[in-house]
Structure 1
Amino acid sequence: MLRQLRPALAMIVLMTILLGLAYPFAMTGLAEVVFPSQAQGSLIEKDGKVIGSALIGQAFTSDRYFHGRPSATTGPDPADATKTVAAPYNAVNSMGSNLGPTSKALIDRVKGDADKLKAENPGAPVPMDLVTTSGSGLDPHITPEAAYFQVPRVAKARNLPEDAVKQLVAANVEGRLFGILGEPRVNVLALNLALDGAKVQ
């Protein structure tokens, strides 16, 4: 029996060393060399301080900034650890809302968001991504249409000409990957950083 167990145990030890240690360390090292920024989480710095990641959205609420998609992520309730509360863009708890199309809570939330957006930009159709959450709840991008929709509010809050803000949006639209994959998009954090650094302030 020991003769049968020895090869099995040797194979377990060998595969653990190869696939559990050597391979992950090799891939991590290769990623650090070939894609250093991505391997470190695509972090974005301002004045030498990390302020976010290009891969995870943030909850901008001021009228002076462009807003991202709503986020359905949650976190533990500080008052009661057995419950959860809304915690937008909580990367520890990536998730969608799991609310169905007949959910009153979902309908009320979308209607409230849509009404608020219509009030800030009357007459313009509300872009879908400004009232719907993504599957992960962490999406850092919005459509160009959603960015342009917010231009009047941002321009008014910063006392800037709308055309100047539109040009800033246009400069921050990312095209399709390799020209064919995905859709044009705008990274909200990158756009807001460009807005803060714009000479037109």
Structure 2
Amino acid sequence: MRMSTWIRQHLAALRALLVLTAITGIVYPLAVFAVAQLPGLHDKAEGSLITVAGKTVGSSLIGQSFTDKHGNVLAQYFQSRPSAAGDGYDPLSTAASNLGPESIVDTLDSDPDKVKLSQLSTVCARSKEVGDREAVDGSRPFCTKDGVGAVLSVIGPRDTDGEVSQPVQVISVNEACPTTPFLDTYNGVEVECAKPGEDYSAGRIVPIYGDAATNTPVPTDAVTASGSGLDPHITPRYAAIQVTRIAKARNISEDQVRTLVDAHTDGRTLGFLGEPRVDVVELNLDLDKRYPLRG
């Protein structure tokens, strides 16, 4: 008796399942594992781990924070790019902040734990911090001198274009009272500080460019996190502004530090992909090896 079409189809499907399971579930993983054991590939397959005196201290593929237990920057180390992954560079919480260029208004609250900074104020605060630490100008357009977003809520009747031609109240929405606002007046109206918890979205939100130069010494990678939050690299430009601090902390010359930076600077991948980059983890370990901090 001939088998029915239904049975033949299911037997064929079962054979295909078994064959594909053997190939993709057994043969392929074993082949990949075997290739990964070849000389030159084994270390990468294991996570590009870095060991010092037999102890694993990190990975050349994952950034680290070089701070003390209180989160203060350790002056003898190059600082990494900011990270939004967990508490910083957490491989189990790899993520970005998901804040974009339209995030310019902070959420203010009388409880500091409930304050939520916008992307603009985050960038402004980081830029000021880096500028103060590296003794360079950390001012940026749309930032106040105190490192928050320079943004106003202009309240008043609007014209057909949505502009407020005659404001009746102007609030610096990112500066909580009793802070003195970064501007005294706007269109003849006194600028007020923001009361935590108040909603000023009824006004027209106006970012103020300010007088800061666009070519700030503090580069973008010093104030923004990478998409993964795990990036171990910084730009040569960010490394360059840290050289003086490192040399002073380790009591060595700036030329000695620059030589190490150059040694740990990689060019564009395949000569045209991406940008030159400096691996901070490997650079700091090399600094400790060659120029250990003296007590």
Same-fold status (TM-score > 0.5): yes
The TM-score with structure 1 as length reference comes to 0.87
Identical counterparts, % of pairs: 46
Task: Report 1:130-149 matches (<5 A).
Answer: 130-149=222-241
The answer to whether the aligner puts 1:65 opposite 2:77 as a matched pair is yes
- Cα separation, partners in 2 of 1:186 and 1:163, compared to 1, 3 Å: same
Counterpart pick for 1:36 among 42, 46, 56: 42
- The count of corresponding residues between Structure 1 and Structure 2 is 189
Q: Distance in 1 between matches of 2:129 and 2:42?
A: 41
The TM-score with structure 2 as length reference comes to 0.61
Q: Distance in 2 between matches of 1:24 and 1:118?
A: 49
Shift of 1:100: 2.1
Q: Distance in 2 between matches of 1:148 and 1:111?
A: 20
Partner of 2:88: 88
Q: Distance in 2 between matches of 1:199 and 1:152?
A: 15
Task: Report 1:71-82 matches (<5 A).
Answer: 71-74=83-86
Partner of 1:178: 270
RMSD: 1.6
Partner of 2:122: 109
The answer to whether the aligner puts 1:153 opposite 2:245 as a matched pair is yes
Shift of 1:40: 0.7
3-state DSSP of counterpart to 2:56: strand
Shift of 1:199: 4.6
The answer to whether the aligner puts 1:27 opposite 2:27 as a matched pair is no
Partner of 1:120: 133
Shift of 1:8: 0.6
Query: Deviations along 1:115-142, whole A, 9 cap, x unmatched?
Result: 1111122345101101111010000101
* One-letter code aligned to 2:121: D
Partner of 1:81: none
Q: Distance in 2 between matches of 1:29 and 1:10?
A: 27
* One-letter code aligned to 1:64: Q
Query: Deviations along 1:41-100, whole A, 9 cap, x unmatched?
Result: 1111001111111111011121110011000012xxxxxxxxxxxx10000121111012
Partner of 1:77: none
Shift of 1:200: 7.8
3-state DSSP of counterpart to 1:152: helix
* One-letter code aligned to 1:177: T
* One-letter code aligned to 2:23: L
Partner of 1:196: 288
Partner of 2:166: none
Q: Distance in 2 between matches of 1:123 and 1:15?
A: 60
Shift of 1:3: 2.3
Structure 1 runs of 4+ off > 6 angstroms? none
Q: Distance in 2 between matches of 1:163 and 1:3?
A: 77
CA contact (8 A) 1:164 1:200 kept: no
